[in-house]
Structure 1
Amino acid sequence: MKKILFTLFVAGILFSCNNDDDSNTNVEITGNWKLIEVLADPGGGSGTFSSVESEKIITFKNGGIITSNGNLCDMSISSASQTSGTYSDSELNFNSPECNNPDYNYTFEQNGNILIINYPCIEPCQAKYQKE
């Protein structure tokens, strides 16, 4: 009887574990990231991300180089101007000499295949990218 209870207990623990493969925290930062959503929150806390139709791609390359077919310095969805800069995957930031303030470090956060870039605004301004 003890063996049966022990087996049921172990089986219950094993089946109650959440296998959350969707987050896949082992996704490398290097590679192409496509713009999928933006957040511009004029009220400072009530905004949500909105889907966008865009061909804007950011590419993180080995050696700390970041490039884009759009403007790295703002949240625009346009893919009409090439820009580049440098990034730090340990500091989670990048900058570009092509920005108005070339010394400003834009911060980003990565959660699996989702990357969110924070832009300087009084209210939250963010762009969400998905790994291609």
Structure 2
Amino acid sequence: MKRLSFFILMALLTVSCSDSDDEIDPENPDLVGTWLLIEQYSDPGDGSGEYREVDSEKSIEFLEDGIFKSNGELCDLTIETGTNTSGTYVMNDTIVTQFSEENYLMPEECDIEDFKVYYHIEEGSLILSFPCIEGCGQKYEKK
């Protein structure tokens, strides 16, 4: 009987394991990892702004210890790379469900003290919201 139970348990473990560990759930992706910039949003002040595709290699890597690294500036809205940026990030449980001022990045290299870039995940994309007079932001997808 013990042998049969062991084989059933092994069969269940084998069936439950799959190659899907590398797949990203578009509704609830893990923040840790590397994200690539795909679109940028800017609004001229009349509410007509929209996300537009960008040609950029800018990326952000989130580490498990609350540190992030980017190959581009995060103190302002730019698609350029070449200026390495790092800092800390804070995440709470509303990352997927809604925008929250409790989810933010704090780049170390900014001229403004306690500068924050807010973020959330929407439909599998990482959305960064920069402090702008008019609406602006960036959209990233997980690599």
Q: TM-score surpassing 0.5?
A: yes
Match of 2:111 among 100, 119, 131: 100
Per-residue CA distance 1:35-63 (angstroms, 9 max, x = gap): 00101101241111111000000111111
Measured after TM superposition, the shift of residue 65 of structure 1 is 0.2
Instruction: Kindly tell me the number of residue pairs found equivalent between the two proteins.
Output: 111
TM-score, with normalisation over the residues of structure 2? 0.72
- What are structure 1's unaligned runs of at least 5 residues? 1-21
- Residue 69, structure 1, aligned to residue 71, structure 2: yes
Q: Distance in 2 between matches of 1:80 and 1:44?
A: 33
Runs of 4+ aligned residues of structure 1 deviating over 6 Å after TM superposition are none
Percent identity over the alignment? 41
- What are structure 2's unaligned runs of at least 5 residues? 1-23, 93-101
Mapping for residues 72-83 of structure 1, pairs under 5 Å: 72-83=74-85
Q: Distance in 1 between matches of 2:78 and 2:43?
A: 15
Measured after TM superposition, the shift of residue 23 of structure 1 is 6.7
TM-score, with normalisation over the residues of structure 1? 0.78
Measured after TM superposition, the shift of residue 101 of structure 1 is 1.2
Letter in 2 for 1:99: C
Instruction: Tell me the C-alpha RMSD between the 2 structures.
Output: 1.6
SS at match of 2:50: coil
Per-residue CA distance 1:79-128 (angstroms, 9 max, x = gap): 11101000011121011220121402211111253011001111101011
Structure 1 match to 2:36: 34
